[in-house]
Amino acid sequence: MSTPLLEDLTLLDAQAVLCPDPQCASPAHIEDRWTCGSTDGSVEVIKVRCSSGCWYTILADDLSSATDR
């Protein structure tokens, strides 16, 4: 079953990830990324849109641990 949000998304797309929510196994797509300054140096932040319609703004380092499940 194809969803409108994922029509152009393929497994080879470098922006394709799993939803960061551990309760959701839906595919997601990185919509945006930027860096923010912090007291411990710069951190990369990403905005992820889940195919279920959820949006998440998380640290890029946290996304890698979320996709390793």
Give the C-alpha separation, 11 to 63, whole Å: 17
19-64 pLDDT, tens digit each: 888 888 888 888 999 999 989 899 999 999 988 888 999 998 887 5
Identify any residues that bridge with 28 across adjacent strands, giving them in sequence order: 17, 50
SS3 (DSSP) at 27:
strand
pTM, two decimal places: 0.64
Q: Is the pLDDT of residue 7 over 50?
A: no
> Residue ranges per domain, the chain?
24-69
